[in-house]
Amino acid sequence: MVTMDTGDRLHYLDWGGPTTDRSPLPPLLLIHGLASTAWSWAPIARRLRSATRVLALDLRGHGLSESPRTGYDLESLAYDALTVLSANGYGADLDGPPAVVAGHGLGAAVAVTMANLRPRSVSGLALVEGGFEDLSEATGMTAADYQRSIGDPPEVMASMAAYLADRREFDPATWDADQEHTARAAVDEKHAGHVASVVRAHALRGSVEALFSYRPRVALAQIAVPVLIAVAESGAADDETLRERRLALDDVVRARATAGVSAPVIRVFPGAGHNLMRYRPTEISAALLELLEEAAHQRS
């Protein structure tokens, strides 16, 4: 736990790092997506902790972190994540080494915001299924409409068994102890037997509003560090959503070119779902390792 100046506590998982020589690679901070927890990154953390120090944060209002009434804008969430880095001796505020930051969904927007707020604290960014789209454009929804669209049906939340079965059936081949832990961490089991999200209504509402405030073309044009974008493509080539996502990627590439910063590395994963950490852990880990090595090279 890290205690903020406000007294609110943030929870994170420390996966450790190399046990022999000090790693030449930057530390890695992992940030989960909306209504998820740090455990969603377990398949990646297990693969990379032998290469460098790996930390995974529960954003405020999520997981075991506390849920204050306010502070769900992107800047506040980014400062929370920067505080976790500082607590471990990393980042510009302590004249420590910068970290590579990887975010999934909402976590990707938080990671980009961190890099804009404290450029010397972030040496590389990985945006996994997030951070490159303007959600109001991509969905045609308001933040309130989007929030109403993402809940689970009552039959899924009727019991822990029903909830776990639903998550397992997303892809039975990738269901394991880490995935069950991830699923259990996202809900509370009530005395009546049903389950409910651990994310309180005010925290979910604030987090969704933060996502809808994010403007990727502006935010990513201001960042000079290496950027990796990992994209799942589960639709057919003529799928309208797929076409719009590719246009969003093109917009980001053009914005960075206009700003005179390096083009992002874009990795596409056909046939995969949104949770690339579950469905493509080996490939995502390999891509992150390349990013860590590039960030280390640029600092040497």
For residue 57, what pLDDT is reported? 97
DSSP 3-state of 128: strand
285 lies in some domain:
yes
Residue closest to 146 by CA, chosen among 131, 136, 154, 156: 136
In a domain, 180, yes or no: no
What ranges make up the beta strands (E) of 238-285? Answer: 265-270
Indicate whether 115 belongs to any domain. yes
pLDDT value at residue 299:
84
CA distance readout (Å), 251 to 11, 163, 261: 35, 38, 14
Tell me if 284 is assigned to some domain: yes
Q: Token pair of 12, please?
A: 């994170």
pLDDT at res. 174: 97
300 residues of the chain, pLDDT tens digit each: 999 988 999 999 999 999 655 679 999 999 999 999 999 999 999 999 999 999 999 999 999 999 999 999 999 999 999 999 999 999 999 999 999 999 999 999 999 999 999 999 999 999 999 999 999 999 999 999 999 999 999 999 999 999 999 999 999 999 999 999 999 999 999 999 999 999 999 999 999 999 999 999 999 999 999 999 999 998 666 688 899 999 999 999 999 999 999 999 999 999 999 999 999 999 999 999 999 999 999 987
2 Cβ partners below 8 Å, 6+ apart?
A: 9, 10, 12, 83, 84, 87
Q: How many distinct structural domains can be found in the chain?
A: 1
pLDDT for the residue 296: 96
Measure the CA–CA gap between 237 and 240, rounded to whole angstroms.
Answer: 9
Residue 154 in any domain: the answer is no
Answer yes or no: is 74 within a domain. Answer: yes
Query: 79 is in which domain, residue-wise?
Result: 2-149+199-299
pLDDT of residue 157: 97
Q: Which residue has 């246009």 as its token pair?
A: 247
Residue 276 in domain: yes
pLDDT at residue 21, as a whole number: 57
**Structural domain contains residue 65:** yes
Q: pTM here?
A: 0.97
CATH code of 218's domain: 3.40.50.1820
Q: Within 13 Å and on the Cβ side, how many CA atoms surround 32?
A: 30
